[in-house]
Amino acid sequence: MSTTLTKGLRLLEALCVAREPIGITELSRSIDMNLSAVQRLLGALVKLGYAEQIVKSRKYRATLMMWEMGAQVLRDNVYRRAVHPILRHAAHSTGYTAYFILNNAPFVTYFDKVEGPKGLTYTSELGTSVPIAATAAGMAIVAFLPPEDLEKLGAPATRDNVEFKGLVISDLADRIAALRQRRYATSESGFRKGVNSVAAPVWGNEGKVCGSIAITADENELKADKFAAIGVEVVRWAEEATLVLGGVPYPQAFYGGDRSR
């Protein structure tokens, strides 16, 4: 891969994840690149329209061109076309916020959502990535990862300045077994304090879990005593999404020949 292209993409990523305009020195430090290279590549990004300099400032930010390109990709994305109607039905049926979360192990990424009338006003932004074991949506995926992918979760990683510290895989065995039998995961005041979630895995046509559907709400709305009833519904919606995507829900390989699931 071209070294110049790699550096340019790293710089563009740094601009995109910055929450406010950022200077050349700070950019250089954040991506460990010398100042002259940052200045040269930044000039190219400005010329191409991917970045802009703040008026009367020496700071820069990404433009909406990245959003425009992403919107074009999203428009024809098979996951969005197939799963969005299911999310809409789930949100309207429960009144809660319904998410489709992508498997980007060792992270998960909030890909699509529909807010119901009882949905939270401070929900996670689409495109946000979090460590895979930090949410019910992530654990619903972890429980059905094949052994080779599960083992990879033992190593630390970083994505968009978010750190994944790595998991002790042997410590997850009992939890994974329970989630496989129940077929859905739950969290109480998990990644976001005061927010409860119920999630179930979704498989794609390649035979691997590609994401999960999650229902989330304030802990006063979605109480723990509702988890079992909501879990049944979330599993049904996740199975529907799996079938629409051409996958097979809850493959028998994960149950060791036990067909009593």
Q: What's residue 236's pLDDT?
A: 97
Q: Do 219 and 95 have their domain in common?
A: yes
Q: Which of 44, 67, 90 is the last residue of a domain?
A: 67
Mean pLDDT of 131-139: 94
**Whether the Cβ atoms of residue 241 and residue 201 lie closer than 8 Å to each other:** no
Distance from C-alpha of 250 to C-alpha of 34, rounded to nearest angstrom = 49
pLDDT band with cut points at 50, 70 and 90 for residue 52: very high
Each residue's pLDDT tens digit, 92-124? 999 999 999 999 999 999 999 999 888 665 567
Q: Is residue 168 part of a domain?
A: yes
Q: Do 96 and 143 have their domain in common?
A: yes
Q: Is residue 103 part of a domain?
A: yes
Q: Is residue 231 part of a domain?
A: yes
Which residue range is the domain that position 59 belongs to?
Answer: 3-67
Distance from C-alpha of 42 to C-alpha of 117, rounded to nearest angstrom = 44
Q: Do 34 and 87 have their domain in common?
A: no
CATH of the domain at 19: 1.10.10.10
Q: What's residue 106's pLDDT?
A: 95
**Per-residue pLDDT at 143 exceeds 70:** yes
Closest of 130, 139, 167, 138 to residue 152, by C-alpha: 167
Each residue's pLDDT tens digit, 207-258? 999 999 999 998 889 999 999 999 999 999 999 999 999 999 999 888 865 4
Q: What's residue 259's pLDDT?
A: 44
Q: Is residue 72 part of a domain?
A: no
Q: Do 157 and 248 have their domain in common?
A: yes
Any idea what DSSP says for residue 118? T
CATH of the domain at 166: 3.30.450.40
Return the H-helix or E-strand segment holding 216.
Answer: strand 209-218
Q: How many residues does the chain have?
A: 261
Q: Do 85 and 23 have their domain in common?
A: no
Q: Do 200 and 105 have their domain in common?
A: yes
Q: Do 116 and 202 have their domain in common?
A: yes
Q: Is residue 199 part of a domain?
A: yes
| β-sheet with 22-23: strand ranges across | 22-23, 59-62, 51-53
Query: How many domains are contained in the chain?
Result: 2
Q: What's residue 260's pLDDT?
A: 46
Q: Provide DSSP, 33-101.
A: --HHHHHHHHHHHHHHTSEEEPTTSSEEEE-THHHHHHHHHHHT-HHHHHHHHHHHHHHHHHSSEEEEE
For the CA atoms of 158, 147, 111, 159, the dihedral, rounded to the nearest 10 degrees, stands at 0
Q: What's residue 72's pLDDT?
A: 83
Mean pLDDT of 80-93: 94
Q: Which of 34, 49, 67 is the last residue of a domain?
A: 67
Q: Do 47 and 103 have their domain in common?
A: no
Where on the phi/psi map is residue 9: left (φ > 0), alpha (ψ -120 to 50), or beta?
alpha
Give percent above pLDDT 90 in the chain.
62
Q: What's residue 122's pLDDT?
A: 58
**Per-residue pLDDT at 173 exceeds 50:** yes
Q: What's residue 118's pLDDT?
A: 80
Q: Do 129 and 8 have their domain in common?
A: no
Q: Is residue 102 part of a domain?
A: yes
Q: Is residue 173 part of a domain?
A: yes
Mean pLDDT of 46-70: 91
Distance from C-alpha of 216 to C-alpha of 136, rounded to nearest angstrom = 10
Q: Do 90 and 43 have their domain in common?
A: no
pLDDT band with cut points at 50, 70 and 90 for residue 3: confident
Q: Which of 47, 67, 87 is the last residue of a domain?
A: 67
Q: Is residue 45 part of a domain?
A: yes
